Amino acid sequence: MLKRVLLMLSLGVLVATMAVAGAGCASSSGLAAMLAKVPDDTESLKFVNAKALRNDADLEDLYDAWKATVDSRLEAHGVDHGDVSIFVFGTGSGKRFTLVTGKFDMDKVRSELDDRHFEEDEYRDVEVWKKEAGWGYDQDSDVALMGDLIILGNEAGVESCIKVIKAGDASWLSEADNNDVSSRLPGGLYADLAKAGITSLLIEGLEVTGVSAKKQDSDTLKIAGVAKFEDEDDADDAEDAIEDLMDLQFNRVEISQEGLFLEASAELDIDDAESLFQGV
């Protein structure tokens, strides 16, 4: 049963209870800055450094995998994938949002939104474009334009991010468990964060999980992550099953317990890593 639920993680076959290994921190890659913009009740979040993928010939296939997944969604809201530096997608409590940073031609974005039957509005002094009634259902019905940041999603998702950014509402980093995990997680090309129960990870005592990937060399990604548990016994009980599963997928797996946390690291061939960047 444990292996079945582990295999249902958002990384496909990648266990999300991997933990920090090596130097680095989330803030160095921009992950922490993005987590400070999303609401505290976010339940699942994925981060992609699209610019880093795009600018590295060794990562071309990973960029193509990400682009194929998001291109139609971004294009439908006036955003060119080639202008995106950082991409974040999150859900939780009825909210859905995508944050993208980059250098955008806002006049072009506005023109595209107008052509696609969005109309200009405002929320908390932020320019927000909303899908006009009668032009079909759109999961991402709202688009907020904030200079080098564009937020698209449903109304609840977009407005909640604006309230975090503009009004100081609680962010992901405001919750202790969330911050404990993300602050231990190295940044890099990719990160996936989730609260327990969201991805069918039914391990007893699990609170929050995180996983990240960064380039190690021209052929390899370094995989790292962290899982926080309610108590040390829960972490200890989960260790063997997680290590067994990781051994099926990765090379040079190392895993250990540090108090409430399970810590591990592994390696993944870049040729086998496209699934991380699909489905975001």
Task: Note the pLDDT of residue 146.
Answer: 97
0.85 surpassed by pTM: yes
pLDDT at res. 198: 56
Nearest of 25, 2, 24 to residue 15 by alpha carbon: 2
The 8-class DSSP code of residue 202 comes to -
pLDDT in tens, 182-205: 999 887 999 999 998 654 456 888
pLDDT of residue 91: 96
* 189 SS3 class: coil
Res 11 pLDDT > 80: no
Q: 3-state secondary structure string, 205-266?
A: CEEEEEEEEEEEECCEEEEEEEEEECCHHHHHHHHHHHHHHHHCCCEEEEEEEECCEEEEEE
Lowest pLDDT segment from 46-55, 86-95, 148-157, 199-208: 199-208
Confidence tier at 6 by pLDDT (50, 70, 90) = very low
With 0-12 CB in 10 A as exposed, 13-18 as middle and 19+ as buried, what is 11? buried
Computed over every residue of the chain, the mean pLDDT equals 87
pLDDT at 271 over 70: yes
- Per the listing, tokens 């040729």 go with 271
Model pLDDT, residue 20: 33
- State the average pLDDT over residues 235-242: 88
Task: Give the integer Cα–Cα distance in Å for 143 and 145.
Answer: 7
3-class state of residue 102 by DSSP: strand
Q: Does residue 229 contact residue 266 with C-beta atoms inside 8 Å?
A: no
Give the Cβ contact number of residue 131 at 10 Å.
20
Q: Is 116 or 186 the better-scoring residue by pLDDT?
A: 116
Segment 54-59 shows an average pLDDT of: 98
Q: Which helix H or strand E contains 75, and what residues bound it?
A: helix 60-75
